[in-house]
Amino acid sequence: MKTKALQTRNVIFWVLVVIFAALVASPCLANRWRFWEYKRLLLAVIAVVFFALAIALLVLTAKLKEPLIRRIFFILTGASAVCIPIFAILHNLVYGLFFHGKDGDEAVFFILAVIVCPALFVLGALGSIVLLVSARLRKKES
């Protein structure tokens, strides 16, 4: 049971990393893809899948019994992935309720969604990758 949950968590993690890379690269690739007329729908579907997989990563990591540092990096990856769309929605909500039609803008949730959470996702993903690779190398040696 534990190995199955561990494998599932690792697959979800790698899918999250690939989706994050695709979302980051999507503005650069927009002009090259012909089906890009449906970009808003496609990005919305990918964002929902990204959010759902991040929640699954958090739940599986919380249930698994493993070293604390590994849990911290996986939880950091999942939590930052969950917070990106939440902070984007909060930015739009706060702007619409309090700043619309006035001078000024709401920058806190925007900076959290666009800079802080993606940076934390990269940090958590890199830490998780390093720990997974080192665990695999130790397993090979013994």
pLDDT score at 16: 96
Q: What is the DSSP letter of 1?
A: -
Instruction: Please give the mean pLDDT across all residues of the chain.
Output: 88
pLDDT of 28 above 80: no
pLDDT of 103 above 70: yes
Domain boundaries defined on the chain: 2-141
- Alpha carbon 2 to chain centroid, angstroms: 24
- Taking CA atoms, 12 is separated from 7, 53, 85, 109, 123, in Å, by 9, 6, 18, 27, 17
pLDDT of 25 above 70: yes
Task: List the structure tokens of 97.
Answer: 């309720």
| Of 83, 72, 87, residue with least CA distance to 123 | 72
| Of 46, 115, 140, 119, residue with least CA distance to 76 | 119
